[in-house]
Amino acid sequence: GNSVTQMEGPVTLSEEAFLTINCTYTATGYPSLFWYVQYPGEGLQLLLKATKADDKGSNKGFEATYRKETTSFHLEKGSVQVSDSAVYFCALYTGNQFYFGTGTSLTVIP
Amino acid sequence: NAGVTQTPKFRVLKTGQSMTLLCAQDMNHEYMYWYRQDPGMGLRLIHYSVGEGTTAKGEVPDGYNVSRLKKQNFLLGLESAAPSQTSVYFCASRQGAGSGELFFGEGSRLTVL
């Protein structure tokens, strides 16, 4: 079946630290991959996406590369800010459906 | 830019009561979805619709019904609420087939006592 597994949280980092949130997937066919972000009290917003193998999605300093050989889509940012504190969801799209990971909570402290 | 709007945002129900959550989108999107979000479980799909007048079951449809009488609205109903339905409910929409972006509402927090 189709599923997404992402790194357990919560994650706490100091400002300007390097961030990696791991995401691996299982899917039939050729899925598209996404990272969504949920700020406190809000709905999810698209952060970045990649639609085929070796594509790199990027936005607001965040990056993720679609790795078909390792079935992974890890989220990275070189220098996090307090404003990046949120819950991050990895997701895949295939067969007309979206499948979400359980979310990883990130807190960035000054 | 309203986007996706959910009402109500908060509701407390007693076991056995019924209620309807309304989702409205102003982007002329074909596809609409209802998810529930529970701690440690991420988002789970309840029901979805690929166009006006159509609905389909998702991963966790039991205890819920939906209707899509108008393209811009997608209603989620609970006929007899149970404590297990205490959750945060999110509506989402997207343009159509293909890997387009999902647009989410702000969520509706439902507590069933």
Residues of B within an 8 Å Cβ radius of A = 4, 33, 35, 40-43, 45, 50, 90, 92, 97, 99, 101-102, 104-107
pLDDT tens, residue by residue, A94-103: 877 899 999 9
Is B96's pLDDT higher than 70? yes
Residue A96, CB-side half-sphere exposure with 13 Å CA sphere = 12
If you write DSSP's letter for every residue of B32-67 in order, what string do you get?
A: EEEEEEETTTEEEEEEEESSTT--EE-SS-TT-EEE
pLDDT computed for residue B99 by the predictor: 60
Considering only A56-60, A106-110, B41-45, which range has the smallest mean pLDDT? B41-45
pLDDT tens, residue by residue, B98-112: 667 899 999 999 999
Of B41, B42, B99, the CB nearest to A51: B99
Task: Please give the average per-residue pLDDT across B87-95, as a whole number.
Answer: 94
Task: Please give the average per-residue pLDDT across A65-75, as a whole number.
Answer: 96
Residues of A within 8 A of B33 (CB-CB) are 98
Of B40, B50, B104, the CB nearest to A44: B104
